Amino acid sequence: MLKIVITYGTFDLFHVGHIRLLKRLRALGDQLVVGISSDEFNQSKGKSSFFSYEERAEIVNACKYVDKVFPENSWDQKVSDIEKYGASIFAMGDDWEGKFDHLKEFCDVLYLARTEDISTTDIKKKLSKFDQDKINDLESALYDIMDIVKTLTVK
């Protein structure tokens, strides 16, 4: 009998932390199925993604550790997904520790440690900071140029 692992996530700005988690999840069973948060579901959680659901699903589906992706449209669909895909293991990152223990009556529930020092949230913060730093540099350069132009035009 196949051992099927199921997990969920947004998987925006796909990075090495995602790869490492999916690799460890896949090693737990024979197949890995992944629920990708739809754009509408993200919006209901107050989140937005850089990439659309379709793009994120295509990226995750291209990962060699993933056998199937499907849309996650609500919190409540997990039991029906476990049954639909015949999952014997539900696994998430340990930042969700305890949040899905109610699924233990349907399958094993595991929480795996996340990859240290990397997260999509941190990447977005760094990119945001980078953008602001560049804007500040450009403003400073513009003021410097304006000062130079003033000194050249005043005689």
Instruction: Please give the positions annotated as active site.
Output: 45, 47
Tokens representing 12?
């925006």
Contact between residue 59 and residue 52 where contact means Cβ atoms under 8 Å apart? no
- Could you tell me the end-to-end alpha-carbon distance of the chain, in angstroms, rounded to an integer? 89
Q: How far apart are CA 134 and CA 7, in angstroms?
A: 38
Q: Tell me, what DSSP letter sits at residue 66?
A: -
